[in-house]
């Protein structure tokens, strides 16, 4: 049993919550850029929250189903239809053998997540189904899906129907404030430059990808390049290259970098980064570590309460 990609979309890949514990070997985390939306999709089809989903980026696919199946779509808001009949996101959807799911116009956000009540019939690599698009391993042949690809599935079941609580039906815009804690090299910049960074509205550039988000705004330059040796970076690390335009490391980013680390995006806001696209506006708000931890605990408690109701 399988699903067939009549049209694959701009970049549709298989992702879960990633492969933890391998960065010391130079292996990125990989996994969903919006892990919250992935977990909601899995909840809607009664699967473990870290199960593999399709991550659908900006231009969505057309998918044909070879058997009756339960699915769910969350994340970025697309106009959806099954055999040309409009359907809503954020609910358990039942599709019949031979029917086609079409992702139409992207209304807001950047990435949607499609969960299915089945498991991919694929090998698990380093404890994950996630696709590493840069190194070409994991997921489906280590790549994004192409037109006419077929993803084989196994272990089908029919879950109870659910609807995402309204509190988790997130809406995305084009202007975001991202919270961060100061990085190891924050103090290498003058007070004026720190203020400039905090007051600048940056734009996401089209050179962004799953490795990193490149921003453009008022350039933050030092009188001479900062001397840096290679240092650890993780998803959410904000680096400042010599051109003064920040780069935020994302899920497929390398394990080390050589640019000053201005800050670290807090875990609570990492999923927001996954919904940014070219020309969206982003500004930064500094908070301390204690506040960041409290926000993470509050978010996790909130989500758990909704899922357990």
Q: pLDDT at residue 229 above 80?
A: no
Residue 226 banded pLDDT, cuts 50, 70, 90: low
pLDDT beyond 80 at 27: yes
> Which two three-digit tokens encode residue 226?
């900062």
Let me know the angle formed at the C-alpha of 205 by 199 and 210, rounded to the nearest 5 degrees: 110
Residues listed for the chain: 309
pLDDT digits (tens, 9 = 90+) for 105-118: 999 999 999 999 99
* Boundaries of every domain in the chain: 2-168, 175-308
DSSP string, 271-285: HHHTT--TT-EEEEE
Alpha helices in the chain (DSSP H): 35-44, 191-199, 267-273, 289-308
Mean pLDDT of the chain: 93
CATH number of 175-308: 2.40.100.10
Closest CA to 72 of 51, 198, 132: 51
The pLDDT value given to residue 224: 59
Q: What are phi and psi of 155, to 5 degrees?
A: 60, 50
Give the dihedral sign, CA 202/203/205/211: positive
pLDDT digits (tens, 9 = 90+) for 157-187: 999 999 998 888 888 888 899 999 999 999 9
pLDDT of the residue at 62: 98
**Tens digit of pLDDT for each residue in 79-108?**
999 999 999 999 999 999 999 999 999 999
Q: What percent of the chain has pLDDT over 90?
A: 82
């Amino acid at each position: 049993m399988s699903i067939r990609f009549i049209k694959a979309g701009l970049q549709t890949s298989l992702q879960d919550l990633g492969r933890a514990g391998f960065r010391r070997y130079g292996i990125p985390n990989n996994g969903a850029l919006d892990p919250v939306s992935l977990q909601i999709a899995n909840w809607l089809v009664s699967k473990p929250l870290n199960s593999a989903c399709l991550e659908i980026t900006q231009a969505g696919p057309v998918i044909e189903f070879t058997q009756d199946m339960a699915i769910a779509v969350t994340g970025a808001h697309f106009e959806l239809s099954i055999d040309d009949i409009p359907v809503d996101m954020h609910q358990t959807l039942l599709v019949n053998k031979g029917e086609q799911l079409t992702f139409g116009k992207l209304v807001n956000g950047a990435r949607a997540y499609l969960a299915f009540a089945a498991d991919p019939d694929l090998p698990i690599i380093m404890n994950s189904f996630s696709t590493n698009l840069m190194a070409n391993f994991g997921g489906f042949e280590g790549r994004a899906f192409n037109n006419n690809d077929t993803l084989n599935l196994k272990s089908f079941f029919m879950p109870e129907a659910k609807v995402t609580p309204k509190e988790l039906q997130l809406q995305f815009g084009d202007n975001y404030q991202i919270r961060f804690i100061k990085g190891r090299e924050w103090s290498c910049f003058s007070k004026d430059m720190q203020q400039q960074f905090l007051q600048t509205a940056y734009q996401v550039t089209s050179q962004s990808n799953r490795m990193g988000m490149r921003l453009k705004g008022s350039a933050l330059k030092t009188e001479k390049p900062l001397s840096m040796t290679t240092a650890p970076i993780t998803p959410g690390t904000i680096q400042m290259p010599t051109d003064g335009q920040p780069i935020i490391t994302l899920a497929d980013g390398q394990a080390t970098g050589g640019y000053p680390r201005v800050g670290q995006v807090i875990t609570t806001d990492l999923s927001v980064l996954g919904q940014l696209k070219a020309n969206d506006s982003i500004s930064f708000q500094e908070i301390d570590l204690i506040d960041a931890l409290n926000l993470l605990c509050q978010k996790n408690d909130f989500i758990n309460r909704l899922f357990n109701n």
